Amino acid sequence: MADDAQETELYSFDPTGVGICFRRPGFFVPRYENSTRIILTNRRICSCPTSRALFFKDKLRFEVPYDAMVATEHFSFSLRKVLWIQYRDGEKTKEISIMCSIFNNQHISRSCDLCSRTPENILRDFQFSARARTWQKKSL
């Protein structure tokens, strides 16, 4: 039960080649490029603006609990991989799109995999895979 109270970082990736927008991506939709580090924990997906985001630090902050997600979609757009998330924030429904360039699109696949699991299973599966990697290293 103590594990449920702790938030554990499961996966994160640097802002290089990463863009976010607060709608579905489109050609005339404003995007914020190379200024936000994405963090996935056992409870939520969130952003941490870097020093490159001088004027937009508050605007680039978002926090989406897994249990507030309504829909997620993984698709390609303009040579980028996109993770689109629709979520509830109080009475409103909001959207966030996280985009990665072709050089680091593996982050979107991994993030989509973590977002599609139930919050209870995320930490358990992560701990199991960490134990398996540790066991493999010891056996080699």
Q: What is the CATH number of the domain that holds 22?
A: 2.30.29.30
Quickly count: other Cβ atoms within 10 Å of residue 47's Cβ.
Answer: 22
What residue numbers bound the domain in which 77 lies?
2-139
Over residues 85-118, the pLDDT tens digits come to: 999 998 999 999 999 998 998 999 888 888 877 5
pLDDT recorded at residue 52 = 61
Q: CB under 8 Å to 72, separation ≥6 — which residues?
A: 83, 84, 85, 86, 112, 115, 116
Binning pLDDT at 50, 70 and 90, where does residue 138 land? Answer: very low
Reported as type and span, the H/E element at residue 21 is: strand 18-21
Over residues 5-16, the pLDDT tens digits come to: 688 888 999 888
C-alpha distances (whole Å) from 8 to each of 13, 33, 65, 70, 127 are: 15, 26, 13, 23, 11
pLDDT recorded at residue 100 = 94
Quickly count: other Cβ atoms within 10 Å of residue 87's Cβ.
Answer: 22
pLDDT recorded at residue 80 = 92
Domain count, the chain: 1
